Structure 1
């Protein structure tokens, strides 16, 4: 990162850091007293806890930067922040109405964030995420899948020769490796994996539907690609996605729903007056709220 870009990034960080400068003393005070010190400005410590807050707030701006470079840049930004904040205090900025208005806004914002985070965290537990997964998995309609192997031949004569070899006891997988024109599956013995109707050419679907596990087609199956010999290895109902792969999305959905519920409940008990007309935002544009 060039010096010019680095300074521009740090300047951009400082523009929106009023909330950070206000929250650092509040948050750090409640954390462990032995937190590591990463910098000092005029004898006042900048701690690893302060750094962690900054990293959380600005992770999207930092992108995929290496960890040591990210740490260095954030500490530089925190030092600059502390220096400018001290200068602002010396200039009596905290006595200005503009400061007090922003302070009140950021205090409300921080209170909202921490309150919802705590209440949502209490409601959405690992057990509730698992329960939601089990409920949704039970609703998934069964989809029959077949594990198939095939051998693709260029002529019907070649396909008939393969069928004769299979009837003579030759291994399907070996014949696929030796003779199949399907260069993707032949290296795996013709294995197509588990497929549902519509995932392979229609002619193979039709032929496989007539087979029992362990059976292969007794006549060549013609398609636009050539002639196929098809083996049905086994059938199953498609399993639900693994819990581990979908749990983060389930948790995020439950948390968003719970947050909306909490806000709606609080609104119902409050006297609210909106003194501007309700206007829906254009489709596809953000409305400034977290959904």
Structure 2
């Protein structure tokens, strides 16, 4: 049975198919379809170069993926245009770029993470992701109230256990150090400063221990349970043990959590998609049916149906067939065992 993972990536807004994927800047025409290429792109005494030639060079898979991506983006923009302020998203992107020293520096940083990515590509993906997040939040029925209940601002100080390294701490030493740090903080030491100096989690230590918004299911159970039991502004009075070591956990004040609901919902969407990717296929199928989508090219339609569309009846039949086979195998084994027993009795 074919595994359908690509829709999950699209739903998360993590890829810009075709253009970004091949290292080229697909935004030269603004990505808005304004350029009219025509059917023939070049002529010569050797023959013409047509749009079909280019598409065939790209290959059915890439063309079909790009087609499906653009169809989804177009539909979702139409569906949620009144709920998304694209100018606000662009302002947020501008602010991000400024933090990295401007657009040029930002593009250099992005290119290291994803070759071919440009600032314009990034803007388009951020906007597309917002529409996708709205769609999935609605389909998963994630309300503002649920988002508020399932999120917390978290920070921690990690004291790692490393008994193999002669300079590392044993379990007992790590727990004792964590207890001492809790006492220091309770006596007036600043949590953020202690995190910077003592935490063995370099990523959060650089942010004074901050983990940002944490949604349920995102962290290991021991950590999450301790965090959500705290009141805003409160810190654990004892170290919390996990496979990573001992944590001193602090919950943020969360005074402006309602302003970050979109980010919370986005995290919850990602989590639920990971928990059950199959639902995404059903959501896409319903969306295409709602908008009467028809793919005119047979090869593209076939590829999209096989890759992105639900085949619940087929999968259910396969599962039922597998179960029947298992039952038949068990029955055969039982009959063979009975026959062996009878033969032994006769002897």
TM-score calculated relative to the size of structure 2: 0.37
TM-score calculated relative to the size of structure 1: 0.43
Higher RCO structure (Cα 8 Å, ≥6 apart): 2
Question: Which is higher, the Rg of structure 1 or of structure 2?
Answer: 1
More strand by share: 1
